[in-house]
Amino acid sequence: MKLYSHRQAPNPFRVTLFLAEKGVKVDTTYVDFMHGELQADAFKAINEFQKIPVFVLDDGTAICESAAICRYIEEMNPLKPLHGQTAKERAMIEMWNRRADLQLLYQIAQVFRHTNPAMAKLEQPQVSEWGEANRPKALETLAIFDAQLSKNPFIAGDRYSVADITTFTAINFGRVIKLQVPEELGNLRRWYAKMIERPAVQSALQVMKETSSA
């Protein structure tokens, strides 16, 4: 098995953190999307949408999309479940994971992709007004997650889950647009401080800091 990833991009980071939490190690190749490696014919043969991460199984099957990769890893390594154990728990985790992904992470990514000059080549057309319009939306979403954490120790309830991983990924990625959790969102700030203390999070962040090619 081989994982095609990137050390700093948010969706690859999400998979890196998921693997660290599960205690699973895989052969990883880092792809430099900023210099056109995703457009190479060899990579397009793996993922025609030219995106990472991609998880290639021993039989050649390519699993794309970070959520699908995490689901496969969960199914193959059921100990320390991160997608829930009961029907209700799995549904709540799925709900909050999608909210973290399709709302918070998406909004932050839109700010980055449409306002950062370095992304102009990859985001065509780059619409700065759209990017800036998503900044207040991200803050509104953070407030919703703060309210959720006033009732639960973790994003989706009493159990640490993939929803926490996706939410942490989004907030950590917020640094690239200088987005910080406002001081008044005390529940979210306390949760984030506890996340930073997790060994798996420290391991994933260390991978992010490494700049040499694997």
Task: Find the mean pLDDT for residues 149-171.
Answer: 98
Would you give the DSSP letter of residue 98? H
At 35 the pLDDT is 79
Give the pLDDT mean for 161-174: 98
Query: Which has the minimum average pLDDT: 15-29, 36-50, 132-146, 148-162?
Result: 36-50
Residue 37 has pLDDT above 90, yes or no: no
May I ask the CATH architecture of the domain 2-81+203-209? Answer: 3-Layer(aba) Sandwich (3.40)
pLDDT for the residue numbered 33: 83
pLDDT (0 to 100) of residue 19: 98
- Looking at the chain, the whole-number percentage of residues with pLDDT higher than 90 is 90
More confident residue, 36 or 139: 139
Average pLDDT, rounded, for the chain? 95
Local confidence band at 39 (pLDDT 50, 70, 90 cut-offs):
confident
- Cβ-Cβ contacts under 8 Å for 31 (sequence gap 6 or more): 4, 5, 6, 37, 38, 43, 52
pLDDT digits (tens, 9 = 90+) for 105-142: 999 999 999 999 999 988 999 999 999 999 999 999 99
Residue from 131, 133, 92 nearest 115 by CA: 131
**What are the pLDDT digits (tens) for 201-211?**
999 999 998 85
- Using the predicted structure, report yes or no on whether residue 212 has a pLDDT greater than 70: no
Q: Cβ distance 176 to 131 under 8 Å?
A: no
Cα distance between residue 95 and residue 43, in whole Å? 32
> Hey, where are the domains in the chain?
2-81+203-209, 87-198
CATH dotted code for 87-198: 1.20.1050.10
Higher pLDDT, 181 or 7: 181
Q: What are the backbone dihedrals phi and psi of residue 58, each rounded to the nearest 5 degrees, phi first? A: -60, -25
Q: Please report the pLDDT score of residue 214 as a whole number.
A: 41
